[in-house]
Chains A and B, each alone.
Chain A
Amino acid sequence: MMRALIVDDEIHSRDELEALLLETGEFTILGKCSNALEALQAMKRERPDALFLDVQMPVINGFELLGMIDESLMPNVVFVTAYDEYALKAFEENTLDYLLKPVEKGRLAKTVRKLRRALNAGEKPVYSSQDIKKIPCVLSSRIKLISTAEVDYVRSNEAGVYVVCPTGEYFTDLTLKVLENKTNLVRCHKQYLVNIDRIDEIILHENMLAEIKTKSGRTIPVSRRHLKELRGKWNF
Chain B
Amino acid sequence: MELLFRLIQAMSVFLVIAYLYCKSPWFRPLTTHSLRTRDRIYLYFFFSAVSILGTYLGIAIQDAIANTRAIGPVLAGIIGGPLLGTAVGLTGGLHRYSLGGFTAFSCGLSTTVEGMIGGLVHLYLKRTNKTDLVFDPKVAFTTTFFAEMIQMAIILIVSRPYLDALALVKVIAIPMILSSSLGTALFVSIGRDQKNMYERVAAISSAKAFKIAERTLNFLGSGINQKTAVDLAKIIHEETGVGAVAITDRDKVMAFIGHGSDHHTPGSSIVSSLTKAAIAENKVIFADGERERYICPLSATCPLNSVLVVPLHIDNDVIGTIKLYEPRNKQFLNMNKMLGEGITNLLSNQLLLSRYERQKNLLVQTELKLLQAQVNPHFLFNSLNTIISITRNNAMRARELLIHLSNFFRKNLKRGNDLSTLEEELDQVNSYLQIEKARFDDRLVIQMDIDPALLKLKIPTFTLQPLIENAIKHGISNMLGQGIAKISAYRNDGHALIEIEDNAGAFREADAGDGLGIKIVDKRIKALFGKDFGTAVYSVPDELTRVTIKIPLEGHVQ
Point out residues on A near B: beta carbons under 8 Å.
Answer: 9-13, 15-16, 19, 35, 56, 58-59, 82-84, 100-103, 142-143
Contact = CB atoms under 8 A, between A and B. Distances in A.
B439 A10 contact: yes
B381 A19 contact: no
A142 B385 contact: no
Contacts of B384: 102
B388 A35 contact: no
Given A10-B440, A13-B389, A16-B388, A102 B381 contact: yes
Contacts of B478: 58-59
Contact of B480 (A12, A35, A83): A35
A19 B480 CA distance: 25
Nearest to B473: A56
A13 B378 CA distance: 14
Interface string B421-450: 000000000000000001111010000000
A25 B391 CA distance: 21
Given A102-B381, A102-B384, A16 B389 contact: yes
Contacts of A143: 480
Interface in B365-405: 377-378, 381-382, 384-386, 388-390, 392
A19 to B, nearest CB: 6
A12 B378 contact: no
B118 to A, nearest CB: 87
Contact of B390 (A12, A100, A142): A12
A16 B381 CA distance: 14
Given A82-B382, A83-B378, A12 B438 contact: yes
B479 A13 contact: no
B539 interface: no
B439 A12 contact: yes
Contacts of A101: 381-382, 385
Contacts of B131: none
28 contacts: A9-B443, A10-B386, A10-B439, A12-B385, A12-B439, A13-B385, A13-B389, A16-B388, A16-B392, A56-B477, A58-B477, A58-B478, A59-B480, A82-B378, A82-B381, A82-B382, A82-B385, A83-B378, A83-B381, A100-B381, A101-B381, A101-B382, A101-B385, A102-B381, A102-B384, A102-B385, A142-B480, A142-B481
- Please classify how large the interface on chain B is, using the bins under 10, 10 to 19, 20 to 34, 35 or more: 20 to 34
Interface of B: 377-378, 381-382, 384-386, 388-390, 392, 438-441, 443, 477-481
B541 to A, nearest CB: 13
A94 B136 CA distance: 98
Contacts of A142: 480-481
A58 B480 contact: yes
Contacts of A15: 389, 392
9 tightest CB-CB pairs across the interface, nearest first? A16-B389, A12-B389, A82-B381, A101-B385, A102-B385, A12-B386, A58-B478, A82-B382, A102-B388
A7 B388 CA distance: 18
Contacts of B382: 10, 82, 101
A125 B443 CA distance: 34
Contacts of B439: 10, 12
Contacts of B381: 82-83, 100-102
Contacts of A58: 477-480
Contacts of B479: 58
Nearest to A143: B480
Given A16-B389, A102-B384, 16 more contacts: A10-B386, A10-B440, A12-B386, A15-B389, A16-B385, A16-B392, A58-B477, A58-B478, A59-B480, A82-B382, A83-B381, A101-B381, A101-B385, A102-B381, A102-B385, A102-B388
Contacts of B377: 84
A9 B478 CA distance: 10
A143 B377 CA distance: 31
Contacts of A102: 381, 384-385, 388
A118 to B, nearest CB: 26
Nearest to A61: B478
A102 to B, nearest CB: 4
Contacts of A16: 385, 388-389, 392
Nearest to A15: B389
Nearest to A80: B385
A19 B479 CA distance: 26
B511 to A, nearest CB: 17
Contacts of B392: 15-16, 19
B388 to A, nearest CB: 5
Contacts of A12: 385-386, 389-390, 438-439, 441
A142 B479 CA distance: 11
A101 B378 CA distance: 10
Contacts of B443: 9
A25 to B, nearest CB: 17
A187 to B, nearest CB: 31
Given A101-B381, A102-B384, A11 B480 contact: no
Contacts of B438: 12
Nearest to B381: A82
Nearest to A14: B389
Nearest to A16: B389
B482 to A, nearest CB: 12
Contacts of A35: 480
Contacts of B389: 12-13, 15-16, 19
A100 B477 CA distance: 19
Contacts of A82: 378, 381-382, 385
A169 to B, nearest CB: 22
> Which of A10, A11, A12, A103 is most buried by chain B, counting CB atoms within 10 A of its CB?
A12
A19 B477 CA distance: 24
Contacts of B477: 56, 58
> Which of B386, B390, B438, B480 is most buried by chain A, counting CB atoms within 10 A of its CB?
B480
